[in-house]
Structure 1
Amino acid sequence: MRQVTINDIAKLAGVAKSTVSRYLNGGSVGQVTREKIERVIQETNYEPNQFAQSLKSKQTKMIGVIVPRLDSYAASRTMMGIDERLTERGYQMLVVNTAQQTEREIEQLYNLAKQKVAGIIWLGTTVTARHLSAIEAIQIPVLLIGQEHASVHSLVYPDFDAAYALGKQFMDWGHRKVIYVGVEAYDIAVGQTRRDGFLKAFNEAGADVKTYTTTFKIDDAIPIGAQIGREQAASLVVCATDNIALGVLKGLANSGKAVPNDVSVSGFGGYDFTEVLHPSLTTVHLPYRRTGAKAADMILHLLTGDVIAMKTFTNFEIKLRESVDILN
């Protein structure tokens, strides 16, 4: 027989999961709500797991932040926004790095809970069943940034819409031979959703598209740029991130190709320094710092039992600069 979970209790009682968690951890819950939860617990013979019970002592005014890489521009700007807003609200940020390792992400969910953090903001790359089991076990609010899952409150970048809008602009400018340089599909937002937005725009225009796959590291994109430069197979190279675009630009330069005279290049992310490159990089600007501040607000709302949407989108801004040529 399947074990009853906190999600089951919440659905049967008609309340939020965070409300059940607050009740189980001795927090303030209204009398009517308390009676609903207690009735469901009795009817289902629900027994809180031992790990969650060990966390019932008073939590700190600390918010854990799980990041995949400390050297990531996006992560650092997001953390700045989180830290500024939490400081304003009297909370502190505790950052842990997972080096893009799924096992370490799962471990850190448990470790942060053991350190009595009040909530966790998780800059994720993928969501597995084991992640969900950990979130269920620790019974404290978790907010996911950059990825989404129906069971986890998520703050999501509009990757598909932004990629489609930028891709359509390139098609309007007459580009039909395109190379797309992306990342592995394990990263749902960048490796799948962002890619799909670009490909939809390209396919609608009947463009000839060739794809390459690389990592998030600049160094790994340099040989791809050099190969493209040698082959001269496209008028436009579209990159899934600004870092990839920087590597491609370097590789093209190494092969003697000029941007945008010989081939155009675009990125995605909107890192500040891409505006002062020569040529300046056409890209999508994502508001990392504002997203961090928004994430801090959302996790604090969850701590007080406020109802918020399971999925919230940020915004984006297309930056049309010198690195992409207009062909028509």
Structure 2
Amino acid sequence: MHPTTDNRPRLLLAMGPGIAERLLTDAHRERLAALTRTDPHLVAHDLAAPDPRAAAALAEAELLLTCWGASPLTPEVLARAPRLAAVVHAAGSVKHHITDACWTRGIRVTSAAAANALPVAEYTLAAILFAGKRVLRSAQQYAELRTDQAWLDASTAWGNYRRTVGIIGASRIGRRVIELLRPFDFEVLLYDPYVTSAPPGVELVPLDELCARSTVVSVHAPQLPSTHHMLGPAQLAAMPDGTTLINTARGSLVDEEALLGHLTKGRLHAVLDVTDPELPSPESPLWTLPNVLLTPHVAGSLGNELHRMADQAIEEVARYGRGEAFADEIRAADLTRSA
């Protein structure tokens, strides 16, 4: 009798140190071992100079399963991976490691960006609802005063009933935020230059109009040359007094100097999960302004939410093994207008 041929694709894990331990559970590793020919405990941290075991695995690999900290797939790296046909990225953006050489060679690419969008949208929903209720400032004042106050009298401009929320960018995250807002009594505006018709119940408007009409503005556009400081002095000045700006995208999309002018005067409020630079200087007013909630880039997947990205990535590995199309394939043209 002839031995049974093992047609499972060979796979190599490639990501930064310590990432695989957070990303993959034992069950994930067992499933990878069942779906592919792989050592689910072998992780290549540096494909440009891999250790001998990783180098041998790379030479045979048909699939790479990548995540944060993955090495750029340069022509030199790809020359060491002659059989590589696809990259499954268990995170969001692939711009850090997918190079032009990958597209030239016809390597297929998919990512778990859809899974990573969910916690960002959930963070945004919480920020929108808390902004309308002025939770940050009222909690601060409550702690400062520690006495009974006429909160009902002080809150005449608060509340979430028929408040106008402006969403900048119909990205995966932006679209998910819009879905999450449906059960609430909000008027939702959308700005996205690539969108020609808005989802039901959403009004598509120019950026300046969105800023002028919204009392909460949430940023979900990609970081591109065309989006650098897209919220500049004119857009920020157009926002009504008391507007809350939420940024979970990238700090460079907002002119931070112009924003600080409005924040230090108390005219605007902000919920910032990203800044420019990513870590503000120790002297930045963002650390101490009472109308600013500053978080350390935690809106995206963290903790057990990484396992959702692993689930999606491994499903894509399974589709590849069955000869099916990826559910969320990325093409080179997509990266000109996405994160």
TM-score, L = length of structure 2 = 0.41
TM-score, L = length of structure 1 = 0.43
| Bigger fraction of residues in helix | 1
